[in-house]
Structure 1
Amino acid sequence: MRLARTMADPVCTAVAYFALAFGAVAFGRFTGGVAMVWVASALLAGRLVHLPVRMWHRWIVPCGLASTVATGYFGMGWPSAVPLAVINMGEAVAVALIWRRITEAFWPHDILEWVTSFYLGIGLTVPLVSGGFAALVAWAAEGLPPLENFTHWIIGHALGLVSCLPVSHYIYHRLSRGRSFLPPTSQLPLAALVFGTFMLVTGMVFSLNMRALLVFPLVFLMISSALVPAAITTLMPLLLIGIGGVMTVMGHGPIAIMDLDFGDRLQFFQLYVGVSVLAALPLSCERHRRIIEMQEMQTRIAELERHQSAF
């Protein structure tokens, strides 16, 4: 329990944020501008959602410093480090606020409205706004082409949020309560079966050069989201990123052979993961809604039975 809470504290969150930001700016700036792959905002937003707003500064300040150092030392340089850090922190705060607002308004009974708001608000609007500011900073501080950096920012940040925000939300939901984010002991046999099969399917797909096979991990994730507990399916995009992403970087699989620049191939892979999550998310949410309604129905039946037995 203590280890789980420690992993969710400001220091550990900032270290994880720095690691993700460093990886993005050191290895994901294929055109010399903004990073074309970015998931650090999803990490911070997933943590902020589970905190009172009055405590957010304890996580925002160290993560802002981490973003500044990563950009200053390994990215675009110090002139743009602080402005981009402010934009990144504002992006994470906006995402956390939108997540809270749509959850309060629609969850769990209006799943379609929640998913649509997630797509439009978090996956589109926030990256558009932050991308506009980031493109201006890149142009003013470094003289970089604004349209190109605007496009790269939107794609990298939007797909990073869509792909990884549900995962980070679930992980910090568990850690902040002193629990492991791994599936519970009772679900380990099922988790081993699902994870093992998914890893086998993904490994086979990304070891071959047939683009049509990319549909199989996507369909597997969708079916699992409809039938398997969220404690298992929420972590599956990490397996897809770990296996498919590494093999793509190593030059294996259907995405690696595309006639595109290396950075564009990685963004296409990120798009593939994002589409997979977008396709599976409504099914997972609907399954969770039915479980909640079933629990509410059982509670009402039990109360009714107790009320009748009192007479």
Structure 2
Amino acid sequence: MSHTFTHSADGRDYSGRTNIGEGFTPADGAPLVVALHGGTYTSAYFDIPGYSLLDRASTEGVPVIAIDRPNYAGSSPIEEGDSIILANAEVLRDAIGSIWEEYGAGAPGVVLIAHSIGAAVATAIAASSPAWPLLGLAISGCLVRVPAESREAWEALPPIPTIELPVPVKDQVMFGPAGTYSDDMPAASHPSNTIVPIAELLDITGGWIERRAEISGRVTVPVFHRQGEFDALWITSQDEIDEFRAGFTAAASVDTALQLGSGHCIDFHNASGELQSAELAFALDCAKTAVV
């Protein structure tokens, strides 16, 4: 069973949710997983009933902390600077270090699991050689380039700090075609919906794309990546997958592939169980390698 939490580090607050608590016993050698959500979602993205990474991890004995990134839910806001994604990475790297000190006892290290804009943030964290023991990086919903109309749509938004995407529009771009998700979706995902900083939408479709290869080239830990076959937010093909993989020139290993039968938010599709089981297996493998 999961519950909400608040963590404070360096004068900043972070809300989120975790499966760590009464009744949870970590498996021997299990890593601490820290999960980072994408844009327009809170940490509840990882805890939707029937699709919960936290619940699935509990059955495997893997402790998970899903953090609300800056500007989301109860987490402190952040100034965007030149790149709000890199600004996220800087403060979250330090916050995860503090979380590791509090929750990491007995674990061999941390594995990051992240989606979409959160995947870009997690990649930047991994590239920064954090002081705490990072064991692996598992990401989804982030690739090489976006359709031109996506960038144009975000640039056409009014000059306001945040926006809430209309639910029908959001569901259209986050989900694949009918038959790739169950009857309870997309409605079941709506409790995790929230406003998004417009700066994130502009950064992920602009500055991040320009920086991606250089930042990915500094990641040294094993990488796991899945991209929804019908992802409408990224130009998605095997060639794009191959180019994305090629960016991780220093990674210990790279496992990246199309997730068949899924749209952008794989966690909310019929492929959810397959993705999450593979992510947790990857995390456990990273932990085993670390203690050998």
Q: TM-score, normalised by structure 2?
A: 0.32
**Which is strand-richer, 1 or 2?**
2
**Which is helix-richer, 1 or 2?**
1
Compare CA radii of gyration and give the structure with the larger one: 1
